[in-house]
Structure 1
Amino acid sequence: MTKRFSQGYALLIGVGESAYKPLSLPVTVKDTQAVYAALIDPDLCAYPDDKEHIRVLNNEEATRSAILDGLKWLKEKAQADREATVLVYYSGHGWVDKTDGRYYLLQHDVKPSKLAASALSAEAFTDALRQIQCDRLLVVIDSCHAAGMATSKDAETAARIDAELLKEFEDFERTALSKGVIDAIKQVKGRVVFTSSEGDQVSWVKDDSCSVYTYHLLEALQGAANQPGDREVKVSNLMNHLSKAVPETARKLYGAEQTPHFDMDAGDFIIANLRGGKGLPDKGWEQVKPEASHKINQIAQNIKQHGKFNTIIEKVSNAQNFHIGDVNHKS
């Protein structure tokens, strides 16, 4: 019988379609849907599949107020459950204002003419995170996407499109979360912070299903860096796999550097069950790797079939004996 990871709570944010179309990043919605599917799968991470444990904000739902409300919801959950393990996952643009060094996450309803005033500032984001009083909180920020990757998988073309967009916002530049912001998040105990890249490196797209970073995160959640007999996935397991696999894939696909950053000063902790609590068999990851790859492909196919870009996850269905997040179109 599956052992539920009942102490797990997650807020997954994929900005996707921006109200200002040139800022749209459809792959970020696919990323959050894929992570959601893995989290609620009883044969994988085994988080309870209900709104008391997981909230997903995609496209027009990923507004500034909704993100802050979601963080407030996590605060309330952590207050009610002293054993809470919390995951905050953001996939979208992250820009810094070159005039004052302030960092912003660009949510759905950002106003291009008043970007600094309307975007979610790092200060507001970190203040909300600090209100979540728990001993185990993992923050994953995949915020260095090139805008050109929304329309082209060719690195040179994507870079040109990205440069044209940034010309429009000449006071801003795309960059990963800065050390100063990470340090601010860590002011409360129990915080571990992952970013998908460093500095101005691009967070690359693997294919039309998800980003390179998310693909390897899904592998790690299935035990890619665990040992035979392990029954849980720890944040150190995620780090060990992502630190090797992401740079290798970025070099292979694009001839580019993408170096994930990990700040684990708060120590290690369990983030999910491994294979529904069954754990890895005697031969370890190599034995289950084909099955894990198949599950990732099934997730991608389901999302592509039912949702594509402008979708939200509303319910869960069983498809071919695989439990994944179903997605429905809004009318």
Structure 2
Amino acid sequence: MNSTGYPQGHALLIGVANYQQISCLPAAILNDVNDIAATLSSPMYCAYAPSNVVTLLDADATRAAVLKGLEDLSARAGPDDTVCVFFSGHGGIVGSPGNEDSILVTVDSDLGDIENTSIGSGELAAALAQIKAKRLLVFIDACHAGGAAISKRLTDCKGHEIKSGYTESIFARLAVGSGRALMASCRADEVSAVLRGARNSVFTTALLAGLRGAADKNASGFIKVFDLFSYVSEEVPKLIPNGQHPIFKADNLEVNFAVALSQGGKKAPYSPETTCMVNQDAPWSVLEQALVEIYPLGPRDQEVWSRAGGDLSRLQLHPTGQAAWHAAIRTLKQGGGGRSINFGSLLQTATEDFPNHPHLATLRAL
């Protein structure tokens, strides 16, 4: 068992730089996808299972392949999983004023038949809605400028053209639903910068740093959605003063959910700020909160309940990991859940898996 892995993490990462019929983009777009994939699947950073991180680059990022990738993602990700979808490439705006739609431009998009060869916001939103995971984060890095001002229109060699970019109303549409959020590289009237000679776009440079641990300022052992956006939104304007501001959209998001592990769960000793906050809560509540974070699939996750001496047959089934933990902790407080399990054995087992998790460390010190 890989006690510091994040098997519930799934990702679909799409990058298009070399379009078949439309102007190309900087090579940094492909680096962005490859570097995010490496960071998510690295045991030293986010600790996703490599098989759960799928990339579609250039020729592989056709309209059909992207839709199939989203379909496959919905098939393999369950309700208690965490899903990230990342797109870097051209975006376009079609339709008449007041009735505009934003489209995702795939490698095989044809400006002469753009509505049938791209992915509209309605189709993309429907595909995202099929994903059962209750934690979904979509990244859009579009409207790229490779060291110079980007054209406001996409053109081909046949005389066709459409407006480049996305609208913020479309971003909001893609973030509809409980536990759904979207992070975009820039505002609708800005460009996503790629500095000359840089390996990554400015947005992805900050995103990578955040995923590699910079967004985990309290050393919690997790990269969380609000913390990640807070970090990226602060860092990007430092690199492009007054020129680029990432945006965040969430329709019904109340929980600062974990996107990934931070440093594979191996962090420095917990911070005083975190322990002061935790000590105000009852030990049982703190333990439950920690267990929901590190074992989001419930007491069966990584066999933690059984390893702590519990009997899974004594627990009822629940639709989500959070509900399962709440019921299991209530049962344990009442003396049930198995003959050999108790508060101490459950805390000890979790601590062996995540020795530097701040909430667990605080409980052990009580």
Q: TM-score, normalised by structure 1?
A: 0.74
Structure 2 CA distance for partners of 1:24 and 1:204, relative to 1, 3 Å: closer
In structure 2, runs of 5+ residues without a counterpart are 273-366
Counterpart residue number, 2:126: 127
**1:21-40 alignment to 2 at 5 Å?**
22-40=23-41
Q: Quick one: distance in 2 between partners of 1:197 and 1:227?
A: 24
On the 8 A contact 1:7/1:83 being kept in 2, the answer is: yes
Alignment equivalent of 1:91, drawn from 88, 91, 112: 88
- Deviations 1:14-50, CA, capped at 9 Å, x for gaps: 0121112524443211110010010111100011112
Residue 241 of structure 1 pairs with residue 240 of structure 2: no
Q: Quick one: distance in 2 between partners of 1:230 and 1:34?
A: 23
Name which structure has the greater RCO, CA cutoff 8 Å, separation 6+: 1
Structure 2 CA distance for partners of 1:165 and 1:132, relative to 1, 3 Å: closer
Q: Quick one: distance in 1 between partners of 2:202 and 2:269?
A: 26
Give RMSD over aligned pairs: 2.3
**Partner amino acid, structure 2, of 1:188:** G
Structure 2 CA distance for partners of 1:11 and 1:165, relative to 1, 3 Å: closer
Q: Quick one: distance in 1 between partners of 2:243 and 2:201?
A: 14
**Partner amino acid, structure 1, of 2:71:** K
Deviation of the 1:115 alpha carbon: 2.0
User: Which one has a bigger Cα radius of gyration?
Assistant: 2
Residue 231 of structure 1 pairs with residue 228 of structure 2: no
Residue 273 of structure 1 pairs with residue 261 of structure 2: yes
Deviation of the 1:116 alpha carbon: 2.7
How many residue pairs get aligned? The number is: 265
Counterpart residue number, 1:201: 190
Q: Quick one: distance in 2 between partners of 1:101 and 1:33?
A: 32
Counterpart residue number, 1:56: 55
1 or 2, which has the higher strand percentage?
1
**1:44-123 alignment to 2 at 5 Å?**
44-50=45-51, 53-78=52-77, 81-97=78-94, 99=96, 100-123=99-122
**Partner amino acid, structure 2, of 1:222:** R
Deviation of the 1:120 alpha carbon: 1.3
On the 8 A contact 1:194/1:262 being kept in 2, the answer is: yes
- Deviations 1:161-218, CA, capped at 9 Å, x for gaps: x257559877632223422x23332333210111110112000014431100001001
Counterpart residue number, 1:261: 247
Q: Quick one: distance in 1 between partners of 2:118 and 2:37?
A: 25
* Structure 1 runs, 4 residues or longer, greater than 6 Å off: 167-170
On the 8 A contact 2:152/2:163 being kept in 1, the answer is: no
Deviation of the 1:10 alpha carbon: 0.3
Counterpart residue number, 1:294: none
Structure 2 residue matching 1:11: 3-state secondary structure: strand
